[in-house]
Structure 1
Amino acid sequence: MQASLYVHIPFCHRKCGYCDFNSYAMAGAIVEAFVEALHREIAQTPYAGARVPTVFFGGGTPTFLDEKTLAGILEHLARQFRIEPNAEITIEANPGSVRAEQLRALRQAGFNRISFGVQSFDEAELKRMDRIHSPQEVYQSVEWARAAGFENLNLDLIFALPDQTVERWASNLEQAIALNPEHLSLYALMLEPNTRFYHLYQKGLLRLPDEEVQVAMYRLAQARTRAAGYHQYEISNYAKPGYECQHNLVYWRNEPYLGFGPGAVSYMEGVRWTNIKHPREYVRRLQAGESLVLESEALEGWEKVGETLMLGLRMTAGVNLAALEARFNLPVRAHYAEVMAQLQARGWLEQEGDWIRLTDEGLLWHSEVALAFLE
């Protein structure tokens, strides 16, 4: 059995105005109780012994925890599972809260990929997003990470921010590329309910770039990363050759993964489930020996195929239909012939032999394409 592992650390120093992730600005006794509960969940897994190609610590802000605690969690995973010798082991980090000695210890503990939540190099944009770091701290964190031995480094950036111009986005891009990371994740801002940005927008107090400007920003990202030697392998992700995020590829290929921590999602043997989200309830349930499952869904037949197509078409390489038919033992090409013909007619989908992929225009309309395959 094989499964990638995701560990959710739900704490942040401050909740950002745009963030809808399962994160909490909490401190004190709950943090220690969470760590103890997380170890208990790992110890109770029914999938002990599974082979693990990738591990990802996300959040929240994983580096909210000290390096000894994080190393202890990774060590526990290594005892419970068979983590492959060349496994990609990623940790997310905030440039405003990491320390040089912390990064050295994390690298020595076995983390070999680091992802910094930069979001912007513009001081005013960072403050507006409620980020706790400065542009200078980004440069310092990257320097420390390199000195610690991290040779696989990602920077996250967001575009289409409030009042952002194409020129300001271009400046952010150039500064990110100048740091020479192996990987860039470049996301358009999404307004999610229950965020400060969403409520401001509903009140008419948040001005966002219009659709035409957002497309121009996306096209600029494609062009500049390509010129700098990165290839776009997914809608929002760009990598130097050989540095694609292996963990995220597991998600996009709809392969098995196990999630630990509050709100973590797992997908095993056709069943997807989500853990209870709030850290206090997560701790209480583990202490009481109760189920952590908030919701669960068993996918069958064409549901699995539809989701695999939806996720796989996020990748610029696309989906191999023959491989999909062999995997699920279903007539995929015949079933979706009409849908694919309609998408090709709109210029959103192209086919080459057994492969289908989104066109450059289709990448902008992935949500609509996904719905067509899921209906």
Structure 2
Amino acid sequence: MISSAYIHIPFCQHICHYCDFNKVYLKGQPVNEYLSFLDLEMQLTLQKFPSDIVKTIFVGGGTPTALSAVQLDVLCQSIRRHLPFDQGEFTFEANPGELTEDKLLVLQKHGVNRLSFGVQSFNNDLLKKIGRTHTVEEVYSSISTAKAIGFENISIDLIYSLPTQTLSDFEETINMALELDLPHYSSYSLIVEPKTVFYNLMQKGRLSLPSQDKEAEMYELLMEKMHKHGLHQYEISNFAKAGYESKHNLVYWNNEEYYGFGAGSHGYMNGIRRSNYGPLKKYMDPLKERTLPFIEENIVTKQEKMEEEMFLGLRKIEGVSKQKFEHKYGLDVKEVFPSSINKLVSQGLLKEQDDFLKLTKQGKLLGNEVFQSFLQ
């Protein structure tokens, strides 16, 4: 049963220096036409892959809040018309400074109950360096307006290991973020991806990044500060008050199926991972013929599903349940991955605790190495 949906809005008022998601500058783009084809994609997809209920919806980008209030209303009407969503988690990504009161009221009217703000830093100089156009003052203002309208489930994203960022600077960002007393925080280390401004600068030797040791110090500081503030770490990059964990993201980490709508989006339906065309014209052209805009379809083998179960599930702090793994695949996880598990345990990166295989403290610091070891 497919019970979650991701919807991609590829438009941005500006392009951040680190972003490699599918996006285009908003100005001059066929936004209304795109929303019309997005509506059609939802209709055609639900006809082909029906679902009784959708429990989580996540609208990301790009920047969904770059749309006007009228366009947001059109988008939300499409979502509510086609997706069987009654009660659950309905999240919109937002940029500080863009989510005005009229837009918030539109979202609230359609049942959006969770906001995820891309804050990244509480240092105005650093925000400029990474290509963000909002200010710290706009972060406070946007969150204050959202709270006043009645939004309680608010999350913010932070990035660390940014160019020229120091440990003390990141500590100040964490402190200022925690002063907002929000129920959820996500924080990721910077990854320099191809086809980004930062990648081009790095190729020219003009990107000054903190060392790996400094990055590890920032992550340890993050975990310590969040714990002291009463936020529990439920995934390697996510912290929440009890009951405010991201239900949508847990769908990914639990290796469950979900719809993916919009240009460049990915979905996982009926055992097949599908990806849509990214360029707007290539995305919209098949839909003109009432054909779904898939660029790629991959049937996931049982072996691949088990590998994904491990490298996604181990992101969760609780880890992977051996019992659930066996129930899902009919095999003992320790017999499927004997050498990987034994090696990681002997290296002190993985531990067995009751029914779970989970990362150790050192394993969290070297998570990517752990995850890679399950890819055959």
Shorter-chain TM-score bucket reads over 0.9
Q: Distance in 2 between matches of 1:158 and 1:74?
A: 29
3-state DSSP of counterpart to 1:22:
coil
Hey, what does 1:294 align to over in structure 2?
295
Hey, what does 2:136 align to over in structure 1?
135
Q: Distance in 1 between matches of 2:270 and 2:329?
A: 12
The correspondence for 1:69, drawn from 71, 75, 82, is 71
Query: Is contact 1:316-1:357 (8 Å) kept?
Result: yes
Hey, what does 1:222 align to over in structure 2?
223
3-state DSSP of counterpart to 1:118:
strand
Shift of 1:29: 5.0
1:301-320 equivalences under 5 Å are: 301-320=302-321
Hey, what does 2:197 align to over in structure 1?
196
Q: Distance in 2 between matches of 1:176 and 1:283?
A: 40
Query: Is contact 1:49-1:80 (8 Å) kept?
Result: no
Q: Distance in 2 between matches of 1:285 and 1:43?
A: 14
Q: Distance in 1 between matches of 2:80 and 2:52?
A: 11
Q: Distance in 1 between matches of 2:280 and 2:56?
A: 25
Q: Distance in 1 between matches of 2:146 and 2:275?
A: 32
Hey, what does 1:26 align to over in structure 2?
26
1:276-295 equivalences under 5 Å are: 276-295=277-296
2:338 matches 1:337? yes
3-state DSSP of counterpart to 1:356:
strand
Hey, what does 1:152 align to over in structure 2?
153
Shift of 1:8: 0.2
Q: Which ranges in structure 2 are unaligned for 5 or more consecutive residues?
A: none
Query: Is contact 1:48-1:80 (8 Å) kept?
Result: no
2:245 matches 1:262? no
Hey, what does 1:363 align to over in structure 2?
364
**Equivalent AA in structure 1 for residue 120 of structure 2:** Q
Shift of 1:280: 2.3
Q: How many residues align?
A: 374
Hey, what does 1:11 align to over in structure 2?
11
Hey, what does 1:80 align to over in structure 2?
82
Q: Which ranges in structure 1 are unaligned for 5 or more consecutive residues?
A: none
Q: Deviations over 1:130-163 (max 9, x none)?
A: 1111110000000011011111000111101100
**Equivalent AA in structure 1 for residue 327 of structure 2:** A
User: Which segment is superposed worse, 140-149 or 322-331?
Assistant: 322-331
Q: Distance in 2 between matches of 1:63 and 1:100?
A: 12
Q: Percent identity?
A: 40
Q: Distance in 1 between matches of 2:32 and 2:220?
A: 45
Q: Distance in 2 between matches of 1:195 and 1:79?
A: 36
Q: Distance in 1 between matches of 2:61 and 2:217?
A: 30
Hey, what does 1:231 align to over in structure 2?
232
Q: Distance in 2 between matches of 1:350 and 1:49?
A: 38
Q: Distance in 1 between matches of 2:314 and 2:358?
A: 6
Shift of 1:101: 2.2
Instruction: Give the alignment's TM-score, normalised by structure 2.
Output: 0.96
1:31-180 equivalences under 5 Å are: 31-45=31-45, 46-85=48-87, 87-180=88-181
Q: Distance in 1 between matches of 2:175 and 2:65?
A: 26
Q: Distance in 2 between matches of 1:276 and 1:146?
A: 37
Query: Is contact 1:48-1:81 (8 Å) kept?
Result: no
Shift of 1:82: 2.1
Query: Is contact 1:117-1:157 (8 Å) kept?
Result: yes
Shift of 1:226: 0.6
Shift of 1:291: 4.0
3-state DSSP of counterpart to 1:153:
strand
- In structure 2, the CA distance between the partners of 1:79 and 1:101, relative to structure 1 (3 Å rule), is closer
User: Which segment is superposed worse, 91-100 or 25-34?
Assistant: 25-34
3-state DSSP of counterpart to 1:280:
helix
Q: Distance in 1 between matches of 2:36 and 2:348?
A: 52
**Equivalent AA in structure 2 for residue 63 of structure 1:** T
3-state DSSP of counterpart to 1:162:
coil
**Equivalent AA in structure 2 for residue 18 of structure 1:** Y
Shift of 1:28: 3.1
Shift of 1:26: 3.0
User: Which segment is superposed worse, 245-254 or 33-42?
Assistant: 33-42
Hey, what does 1:352 align to over in structure 2?
353
Shift of 1:80: 2.4
Shift of 1:347: 0.2
**Equivalent AA in structure 2 for residue 50 of structure 1:** D
Q: Distance in 2 between matches of 1:354 and 1:122?
A: 43
Shift of 1:290: 4.0
Q: Distance in 2 between matches of 1:281 and 1:335?
A: 41
**Equivalent AA in structure 2 for residue 33 of structure 1:** E
Shift of 1:30: 1.1
Shift of 1:275: 0.4
Q: Distance in 2 between matches of 1:368 and 1:297?
A: 25
